[in-house]
Structure 1
Amino acid sequence: MTEQDVLARIKALVDQEHELRAQASKGTLDPKVERQQLAELEVMLDQAWDLLRHRRARIDQGESPDTAEPSSPGQVEGYLQ
């Protein structure tokens, strides 16, 4: 997966988030379903941003960015802010 692939994935997830919020504001989406789907999207976005950071860190260290692997949802969600 290239950096462009990761960025495209992030954009697609953000677009999905906006669509969910639009459906919710129109009343065409059950609020419980919205919360569940938004929570899932947030985890996927966190993973994608984390992968992008890992790829860029490898480049800065003179390593191949292609060796970066996505972190698990538990690992990404467990990071301290």
Structure 2
Amino acid sequence: MDTADVERLIESGIEDAEATVTQPRGEDDDHLAAVVVAPAFEDETIVNQHQLVYDALGEHMTTDIHALELKTYTPDEYTTRE
């Protein structure tokens, strides 16, 4: 699955989300990494944040994506990260 397609799915599935999806060097096409920034992550645990992303990707998580390295941030967290 193309990284741009994954970005579009995440951004359309989570309101006001900004997603950057890459394919780590040396990995297969079905191994991806994503950084997702969304106000929807406010007051959510990391587990719930990741679940929101998985829900946005739907069946693609079992059919097209084998592994997804995920980093999720609220807008404030992303601005102040080190």
TM-score by length of 1: 0.26
Structure with max Cα Rg: 1
More strand by share: 2
More helix by share: 1
